[in-house]
Amino acid sequence: MKAKVLRKAGDIEEGAIVEVGGKTGVNDARGPEDLGGVSVTSAPVYAITDEDGHAENVDTRDMKIVR
């Protein structure tokens, strides 16, 4: 599955199209600096990889699935 990153994720720039891998956990804490602001609702976190091979764990709220 492919997704567009909605915010910078480590070495992966905002707007990059990434490959979504397996679920790596959940994000229970989001602060005001996160996209979408503070949230007490947990969301799944997935491993993503860009075309340059950079890998990060990203909250699903910070990705938009592309088809």
The number of domains in the chain is 1
Q: Identify whether the C-beta of residue 3 lies closer than 8 Å to the C-beta of residue 17.
A: yes
Mark out the alpha helices in the chain (DSSP H runs). Answer: none
Q: Please check the confidence at residue 44 and state whether its pLDDT lies above 80.
A: yes
In the chain, the amino acid numbered 60 is T
Q: What tokens does 3 get?
A: 């997704």
Q: Please check the confidence at residue 36 and state whether its pLDDT lies above 80.
A: no
Report pLDDT for 67: 84
Range of the domain at 18: 2-66
Report pLDDT for 25: 85
- Residues 33-61: what's their mean pLDDT? 86
- Residues 4-27: what's their mean pLDDT? 94
- Residues 38-53: what's their mean pLDDT? 88
Confidence class of residue 38 from pLDDT cuts 50, 70 and 90? Answer: confident
**Using CA atoms, how far apart are residues 65 and 19, in angstroms rounded to an integer?**
10
